[in-house]
Structure formats: C-alpha cells, structure tokens
Amino acid sequence: MSKRMIEQKYNIKAPVDKVWQAFVDPKIIDQWGGGPAEMDGEEGTRFSLWGGDIYGTNTKIIKHKLLEQDWFGGKWDKPSKASFHFTAKGDRTELKLVHKNIPETAVRDIEQGWKDYYLGPIKELLEE
C-alpha cells in the first residue's frame, strides 16, 4: 500500500498562543468539535479526539511553534505523522500542516477532513 502526504496552510486572525490552545486544551477542542478529547501540550502524551476515532502520541513539542504527532485514524497498522507549524505574524498566526505516511485509501477523505472537521473549524472558532 503506497503512502501519501498532505500539506495545508491557514492564516488565522488570532495570536499564536490562542491558536496553540485550540490544539492542546480539551475544553477548546470541544468548542471546535473535536471532542470528547484527551490532549495536552506535553511530549510523550497519548491523545485522542472525537472520542477515540483519531488517536496517537505527541512526539515533539516546541510550545507555540511545533506540535508533532504519531497519528492513527481507524485500524491503521502504522501511524501517520502529523506536524503543525505555528508562526506568529503579529496578531495573526500562520499555521502549516504536514501530514505524511497516510494510507493511500484514506488520503482524499483525510485531506477534506482537515478542512471540514479540524483546521477549518479551529480557524472559524478563533476568528469569531
């Protein structure tokens, strides 16, 4: 089974600390629709979103700059690798997603899912 990669960029009208919190604070994750969630901003922490539909481990953390995760969706044999890069641009944040090693059969759904259920809703919530 071949693997694919997704890259997406978002310019969010919110400071980097608020964007970061939307990724690591379960209360805010619930607000944008990713709950019930188990998550924090610590390296080595196991996480789950949508009650366990998405799960994995935080593998590298540089607060307000980088969140890397081993990321599972469904019954995958091996994790994919999701990394979120946060760049402060004054009162805005540039967010870049790089998602690698996705099973070929899941790429299209996951690419749209980032927009519809994860990064799009985070942007919407923070820009309200």
Over residues 57-87, the pLDDT tens digits come to: 999 999 999 999 999 988 888 999 999 999 9
Q: Range of 76's domain? A: 3-126
Q: What is the pLDDT of residue 1?
A: 42
d(CA 86, CA 13): 13
Question: Token match 């997406």: residue?
Answer: 8
Give start and end residues of each alpha helix (H) in 14-76: 16-24, 26-32
Q: In this structure, what DSSP letter does residue 118 have?
A: I
In this prediction, the residues of the chain whose per-residue pLDDT falls under 70 are 1-3
Query: For 99-102, which contacts have Cβ atoms below 8 Å and span 24 or more sequence positions?
Result: 99/5, 99/6, 99/7, 99/71, 100/3, 100/5, 101/3, 101/5, 102/3, 102/4, 102/5, 102/6
51 secondary structure, DSSP code: G
What CATH number is given to the structural domain containing 63? 3.30.530.20
- CA dist 57 and 31 (Å) reads 22
Q: What pLDDT sits at residue 3?
A: 60
Structural domain count of the chain: 1
Beta-carbon-side half-sphere exposure of residue 125 (alpha carbons within 13 Å): 21
pTM for the structure as a whole: 0.94
- What pLDDT score was predicted for residue 64? 98
Amino acid, res. 103: P
